[in-house]
Amino acid sequence: MNRFKALLECMEEEAETLDDGLERLKKQIQFVLEVDRLKGILRQNLVMDRSRQENSVEHSWHLAVMALLLSEYAPARHFDMTRVVKMVLIHDIVEIDAGDTFVYDVAGNEDKAEREIKAAERLFGMLPADQQAEFWALWREFEARKTPEARFAGALDRLQPLLCNFSTDGDAWRRHGVKRGQVIEKNHIIEEGAPLLWDYASCLINEAARRGMLEKE
Amino acid sequence: MNRFKALLECMEEEAETLDDGLERLKKQIQFVLEVDRLKGILRQNLVMDRSRQENSVEHSWHLAVMALLLSEYAPARHFDMTRVVKMVLIHDIVEIDAGDTFVYDVAGNEDKAEREIKAAERLFGMLPADQQAEFWALWREFEARKTPEARFAGALDRLQPLLCNFSTDGDAWRRHGVKRGQVIEKNHIIEEGAPLLWDYASCLINEAARRGMLEKE
C-alpha cells in the first residue's frame, strides 16, 4: 500500500517531535486509512432516494444514529447504549475482506462466518493489542447476540434495511424475488432486541406484502 | 414526502398493537428516514481510492471510528469519549438543508452559521422534545469548541479530511489551489483538541507541500 508507506515515512522523518507512542499511533492511523475501504462495499438495498446502492459505512452510521434515538425500546434495565453504538460502528468492518453477504443468500451465508473471522484477524490485527482485543470483543458480542446490547444492535441491523427497502418500493426484495415469509423469518430477531420495534417492523412487512413488494408464499 | 406518509399510515393501521409512545416513535422514525439524505451531501475531498467524492455520512462514520481509537490523545483527564462519538455522528446532519461548506471557501463560510442554525431548527425539531434538546446541546457544544470533548471532536473533523487529501495526492487542495499557509491556519485547531495529533498533522502538511500537493505561499 503505497499511501501507507508515504504516511509512515513522513511520520518517521519528524519522529523526534513524537513520543514513544509513535509505533502505537502508526498502527492506529494505518487502521483508520484501511477502513476507508468499507465505503466501497455495496449492499443490496438502495439509499432511500433510490439513486444508488447503499454502502456498509452508510448503513453503519445510520445504525449508530438509530442507537442514539431508539435505545429506550430495549427491554433491559441496565443498558449500555455506548456499547451498542460501538458495536454497530464496527460490526461491518470485516466486510472489507469478506464482502457483504445478502441476508437472503443461502449459499453466501454458508461460509460467511469463516470468511469474516479471517477478515477480523487481518483487520483488527492491525491495531495495538488492547484495541485489537476491544474490537474483537465488540464484534464477537455483536455476532453472538446474547447480551441485551447485542440483541438491540442486531435489531437495528435488521430494521434499518427494512426501512430502506420499504422506502424504495421493495427494490432489493423485488430484484431477488424475496417472499414475505423469508422476511419474517430473517427479521423476527428484532423482537428479542426491541419488542416494540418488532411490532412496528411486522406491520411494515405486512404492508409491504399488501403492496406487492414481496412475493406471495 | 410520500414515503413518510406511507410509513405512518401503516403504523396507524395497527396502532392498537403499539402503546401511547406511538407519537414518539413516529417522530423518531421520521427523523431516521430524513437523515438518510445526508448520504447524498458530497464533500470536496475524495474517498481514499480516488473513485469519487466522499459524502458527509461517510465522513461522520470515519470520525466516530477515529474517536473510538484516538481518544487517548485528548489531553483532558476526565474525558467522555461517548460524547465525542455522539457529537461527530450528528455534527453534519444540518448539511441536509445547509449543504457542505468547503473549509477554504471564504464566501460560503460567511453565512454558514445562519444557514446551519435554520437547518438545525427544522431537522432537530422533528424529534421528541427531550431528544431535540440533546441533539441541540451536542451540536452547540461541537460548534462552540469550548469543552475538551468538543475540541477533540473538532480535531478529528480536521484530521480526517487531511488524511483523505494526503492519500489522494492532494486532489481537493489542487483543484482549489489551496496554499500551505491556509491549511496550517485552518487546521492548527487540531492542537487544542489533541496536541500529538497536531504534531502528526503538521508533519503531513509539510510533506504535502514538499510533494507539490499545496501551492507555495
Q: What is B17-69 written as a DSSP string? A: GS-TTHHHHHHHHHHHHHGGGGGG-EEEEEPTTSSSEEEHHHHHHHHHHHHHH
pLDDT at B4 over 60: no
pLDDT at A12 (0 to 100): 59
pLDDT tens per residue across span A59-107: 999 999 999 999 999 998 899 999 999 999 999 999 999 999 998 888 8
Per-residue cell: B90 = 450528528
Give how far B81 is from chain A: nearest CA, Å: 9
pTM: 0.94
According to DSSP, the residues that pair with A215 across neighbouring strands are: A179
The pLDDT > 70 percentage for chain A reads 90
Please list every residue in chain A whose beta carbon sits closer than 8 Å to the beta carbon of residue B198: none
Contact state of B69 with A199 under an 8 Å Cβ cutoff: no
Per-residue cell: B73 = 490523545
Q: How far is CA A178 from CA A99, A110, A183, A214, in A?
A: 21, 18, 7, 6
Mutate to test the interface with A, among B23, B134, B200 (most CBs of A within 10 A): B200
Contact state of B58 with A60 under an 8 Å Cβ cutoff: no
pLDDT at B66 over 60: yes
Contact state of A203 with B28 under an 8 Å Cβ cutoff: no
Contact state of B127 with A60 under an 8 Å Cβ cutoff: no
Residue in the block written with cell 479471517: A118
Out of B54, B65, B167, the one facing A35 most closely (by C-beta) is: B65
Average pLDDT over residues A183-204: 95
- Asked whether the beta carbons of A3 and A33 are under 8 A apart, the reply is yes
Half-sphere exposure of B40 (CA within 13 A, CB side): 15
Question: How far is the C-alpha of A157 from the C-alpha of A141, rounded, in Å?
Answer: 14
pLDDT tens per residue across span B20-40: 678 899 899 999 999 999 999
Asked which of B106-110, B137-141, B151-155, B168-172 is least confident by mean pLDDT, the reply is B106-110
pLDDT band per the 50, 70, 90 thresholds, residue A3: low
Out of B47, B57, B70, the one facing A36 most closely (by C-beta) is: B47
Contact state of B33 with A48 under an 8 Å Cβ cutoff: yes
pLDDT at A17 over 70: no
Average pLDDT over residues A10-37: 78
Give the right CATH number for A42-210 from 1.10.3210.10, 1.20.1250.20, 1.10.10.10, 1.10.760.10.
1.10.3210.10
Mutate to test the interface with A, among B203, B205, B214 (most CBs of A within 10 A): B203
ipTM: 0.94
Beta-carbon pairs below 8 A across chains A and B: 166
- Asked whether the beta carbons of A210 and A204 are under 8 A apart, the reply is no
CATH architecture assigned to B41-210: Orthogonal Bundle (1.10)
Mean pLDDT of chain A: 92
Average pLDDT over residues A112-119: 94
Please list every residue in chain A whose beta carbon sits closer than 8 Å to the beta carbon of residue B51: 40
pLDDT at A118 over 70: yes
pLDDT band per the 50, 70, 90 thresholds, residue B217: confident
Give how far B113 is from chain A: nearest CA, Å: 23
Per-residue cell: A63 = 445504525
CB atoms within 10 A of CB A54: 25
Question: How far is the C-alpha of B40 from the C-alpha of B38, rounded, in Å?
Answer: 5
- Asked whether the beta carbons of B194 and B73 are under 8 A apart, the reply is yes
Per-residue cell: B58 = 461517510
Contact state of A66 with B204 under an 8 Å Cβ cutoff: no
pLDDT at A2 over 80: no
Contact state of B32 with A66 under an 8 Å Cβ cutoff: yes
Please list every residue in chain B whose beta carbon sits closer than 8 Å to the beta carbon of residue A3: 48, 166-167
Please report, as a single letter, which amino acid is at residue B154.
Answer: G
Per-residue cell: B151 = 475540541
pLDDT at B19 over 80: no
According to DSSP, the residues that pair with A42 across neighbouring strands are: A55
Contact state of A58 with B39 under an 8 Å Cβ cutoff: yes
pLDDT tens per residue across span A157-167: 999 999 999 99
